[in-house]
């Protein structure tokens, strides 16, 4: 991996990222005074500052001038995101006093003892579920910690102990917190109809992570598309050609016609239902019906 920041190794960036993700929301890192004679931030009183912090589950680079005006940029809470953030700071290094001190502070990094502290990890995953990746292996098997992480971000389940990913009772609890956790559940549980029905009823688009057999199950697919018509994208091809299902879909979301079988895009009953719900569904209508007077009358009325 190459670094935009010209900072150092992936190992060092990973340690620094860990420190940020395990911090309290808003805790400042790399706090430095801004030069008063250059850059976009005016600092005649030497009160302007720049720093990094965890904010809204993102890495935020902040600058504040003497008048309290802020400039904030957000980056993904990943090694790549942190590197891009530091790289941006480097690109404006003439605004920072004592750049060598800035570089040395990056190496302050995190205390390995933090990762075995349950209270620290709990606090961290509640504000950013992906902080779970830095927890001790024992805490990755702790149900309370995992549920807290998954509630904040379903993708955090990927860092959980493998036994928990295959624990039906636990996965039921996890997907109730966040349906997207299904993506990282054991394959057998992705084929569990009870679990998948629970998930797609709260978020239809999670049908994407269900077993292929359940994507061809009419009950499961109907439950998914009733919650979100766009879930049709992940249904089995046969069900995308099922007129009854597609009618349910387009009556809920006309633009989901995009994912219907081509033959149904040329079916007048289906197309009429779609454009009645959303005239912009005309974008996905078969050319043979785009100039149909009944369809155009609905479209023109809706404009």
* Domain residue spans of the chain: 10-110, 241-303
Q: What is the pLDDT of residue 33?
A: 72
Contact between 206 and 228 under an 8 Å Cβ cutoff? The reply is no
d(CA 252, CA 230): 10
Q: What is the pLDDT of residue 229?
A: 96
Q: What is the pLDDT of residue 43?
A: 47
User: pLDDT (tens digit, 0 to 9) for every residue of the chain, 303 residues total?
Assistant: 454 555 556 777 777 888 888 887 788 887 777 665 555 445 445 567 778 888 877 888 887 766 667 778 899 888 888 888 887 776 665 556 666 666 666 655 545 566 678 888 898 888 888 889 888 899 999 999 999 999 888 889 999 999 999 999 899 989 988 999 999 999 999 999 999 999 999 999 999 999 999 999 999 999 999 999 999 999 999 999 999 999 999 999 999 999 999 999 999 999 999 999 999 999 999 999 999 999 999 988 866
- Count CA within 13 A, CB hemisphere, residue 221: 25
């Amino acid at each position: 991996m190459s670094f935009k920041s010209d900072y150092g190794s992936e190992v060092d960036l990973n340690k620094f990222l860990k420190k940020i993700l395990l911090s309290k929301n808003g805790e400042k890192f790399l706090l430095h005074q801004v030069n008063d004679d250059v850059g976009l931030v005016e600092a005649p009183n030497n009160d302007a500052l720049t720093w990094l912090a965890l904010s809204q589950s993102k890495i935020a680079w902040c600058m504040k001038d003497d008048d309290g005006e802020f400039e904030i940029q957000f980056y993904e809470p990943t090694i790549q995101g942190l590197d891009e953030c530091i790289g941006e700071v480097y690109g404006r290094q003439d605004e920072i006093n004592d750049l060598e001190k800035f570089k040395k502070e990056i190496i302050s990094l995190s205390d390995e003892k933090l990762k075995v502290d349950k209270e620290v990890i709990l606090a961290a995953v509640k504000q950013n579920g992906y902080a779970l990746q830095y927890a001790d292996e024992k805490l990755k098997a702790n149900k309370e910690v995992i549920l807290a992480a998954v509630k904040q971000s379903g993708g955090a389940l990927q860092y959980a102990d493998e036994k928990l990913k295959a624990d039906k009772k636990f996965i039921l609890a996890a997907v109730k917190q966040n349906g997207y956790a299904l993506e990282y559940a054991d394959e057998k549980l992705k084929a569990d109809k009870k679990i998948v029905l629970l998930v797609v009823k709260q978020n239809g688009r999670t049908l994407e992570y269900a077993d292929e057999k359940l994507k061809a199950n009419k009950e499961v697919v109907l439950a998914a598309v009733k919650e979100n018509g766009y879930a049709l994208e992940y249904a089995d091809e046969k069900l995308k050609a099922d007129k009854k299902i597609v009618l349910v879909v387009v009556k809920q979301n006309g633009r989901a016609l995009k994912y219907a079988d081509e033959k149904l895009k040329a079916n007048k009953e289906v197309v009429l239902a779609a454009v009645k719900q959303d005239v912009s569904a005309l974008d996905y209508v078969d050319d043979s019906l785009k100039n149909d007077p009944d369809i155009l009358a609905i479209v023109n009325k809706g404009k």
